[in-house]
Amino acid sequence: MTPCRVRFAPSPTGHLHIGGARTALYNWLLARKMNGTFILRVEDTDTERSTHEYTASIIEGMKWLGLNHDEGPYFQMQRMDVYKAHVEDLMKRGLAYKCYCTQEELEAKRQAAMKEGRKPKYDGKCRELSAIPQTPDPRPFSIRFKAPVEGTTIVHDIVKGDVSFENKELDDLIIMRSSGTPTYNFTVVVDDVEMKITHVVRGDDHLNNTPRQMLMYQAFNYPVPMFAHLPMILGADKKRLSKRFAATSVLEYKAQGYLPDALLNYLARLGWAHGDQEIFTLKEMIDAFDLKDVGKAAAVFDPEKLKWVNSQHMLKFSDEEVFEMTLPFIEKRGLKVTDRSMGIKAVASERERGKTLDELSEISAFYFHDEITYDEKSKEKWLNDDGKKTLSLIAGRLSQIVDFSEHDISEAFKKLIDETGKKMLDLAQPCRVALTGTTVSPSIYIIMAILGKDVVLRRLNKAFQ
């Protein structure tokens, strides 16, 4: 059996985005499942839009996700001699020809076809010129692949099933531009042949390219790889995924405090299912993954579902580990954690609410601020004259506690409720605003015990003065 060899072939004309990351993941999972080889190939022949910045971003994104490649990265711009040799081979065998049609001529033909309701395709004007003896022609030329004009090309797709294309509808593609640079459909095939690719797993927007590429695989006497065209990923508006619904780069998810395994877990489930299981470790994904379980219908990207998946992965880590992961996000807010033990408790107290590391750093930031900024509505409602009197009363009682523990703080509040007849809400909310700046937080007893007596009394005193 031929060893499985797959490739992820991004174009460095942009960052590694959600769709590309899912394609990379499915290829990686297939390679790991089949003990195969995962190849990273950078398709950088679009010299006008490709940049070193995007290349570095893609490689960094792959590294952060843990999608380590076994070969590469290969760069197409470093393989020009390989493409030229394959063009010459096709020319010698009569499977490619020179085309002298200018861009103006081709555009005129395209406009005429569209006006007449015909499919715009090359009319084969130069197809047989090479068979006619002639003196060398000084005009610039491109080179086209001579595709068969009869018969049917059937794409056997693992996801889509069999898809038929009539060869008469497939025109002779340009494989080498007049500038001497090869085209996408040609370089893809040459690279797949040279790298012995066995499975081509990519988005279904490439499906229409596949029959043309299959004809070229056959022209090179290379076995046609197995194809799997993945369903589209749509935004919440059921349209093609855009910046509005998903970050433009997977590295933005890193910056937002998502865990790489959680993002991979979520991406895997955008089109693939294994029973009702939602949360997977990498090993579980590798063991369960099968391209036959990839659905045909488009998947919808749900940011809230991604947050939930991330929160489930965060549960796998200890309080200490979550604190260490959250610390850089706390420091990015200009805050310092001088007491590690207190920091661990502080972050742990918010774990149920914070679904990303950045959210955790945001909602636990009040623990590390020197001065609290009050939410105006909360201040108006709870730090009014009555609230300040309540805080003064609470501060006096708390100052008498020797062991500033959750238990003793709780007992102090219970006695105040009995003595004053106030509800817990009327005592806790002014404290919560004074200590955190808002009315939403963990238990007031937990907050006070973590902050410590001195900080609590200082914040309460400031609030009621």
- Active site residues per annotation: 243
Q: Going along 76-170, which residue ranges are E strands?
A: 96-99, 142-145, 152-157, 161-166
* Continuous H helices in 333-375: 340-349, 357-363
Q: Do 255 and 356 meet the contact criterion of CB atoms below 8 Å apart?
A: no
Q: How far apart are CA 239 and CA 408, in angstroms?
A: 56
Collapsing DSSP states into helix, strand and coil, what is residue 137? coil
Q: How far apart are CA 312 and CA 317, in angstroms?
A: 10
Query: Using N-to-C axis directions, what is the helix angle for 184-194 and 80-92, rounded to 10°?
Result: 100
Q: How far apart are CA 72 and CA 81, in angstroms?
A: 18
Q: Do 97 and 141 meet the contact criterion of CB atoms below 8 Å apart?
A: no
Q: With residue 21 as reference, give the H or E element that holds it.
A: helix 18-33
Task: Determine the residue type at 211.
Answer: P
User: Which tokens in the block code for residue 91?
Assistant: 């020319």
Measured CA angle at 156 (ends 95, 218), to 5 deg: 15
Q: Going along 246-346, which residue ranges are E strands?
A: 299-300
Q: Going along 66-208, which residue ranges are E strands?
A: 71-75, 96-99, 142-145, 152-157, 161-166, 174-176, 199-203
